[in-house]
Amino acid sequence: MMNEEYIQKLVENFLEKASFSGSVTVEKDENRYQVSITTDDGGLLIGQGGTHILALQHLIRLCLRKEAKDEEGVNIYVDVNGYWKEKEKILEQEALEAAKKVMEGGESVVLRAMNAHERKIVHDTLAKEAVTTESTGFGTDRRIVVKRAN
């Protein structure tokens, strides 16, 4: 059965097998499991631009989906030493500044290239604003265009 304790043990096993030490906490909110890892090896677990966290998150999600045969997908979010919480604040600020430029100048604003996780944060942040967002490009060059809502 899928629960916070099961997920915590799974993540602790991943860390141990990869020779990392640290503490793991898991909380469930309305639609996902939030996994927080605190470790002295944060830089290695985070990776450049959060690539290692995203890979770890993907591997954990695959293991959980295999176990959760009767559940439809498992939504999991992994953070290491608060990296994504800080990154989220920065991305939200960038998104709101872009929306402000669009509203003041009327021109579309193209944001820097972002990974899927970062783009989701921006889309979610601007969903309540008087702008629309659209992802364009491919692969590592995928960006968000912010436009005035019609």
- The three-point CA angle 17-21-23 to 5° equals 115
Check whether 150 has a pLDDT greater than 80. no
Q: What residues contact residue 70 under an 8 Å CB cut-off, 6+ apart?
A: none
The reported pTM is 0.77
Joined tokens for residue 44: 């290695």
Domains and CATH numbers, the chain: 4-81 (3.30.300.20), 86-148 (3.30.1370.50)
Quick: pLDDT tens for 66-89: 877 655 667 889 999 999 899 999
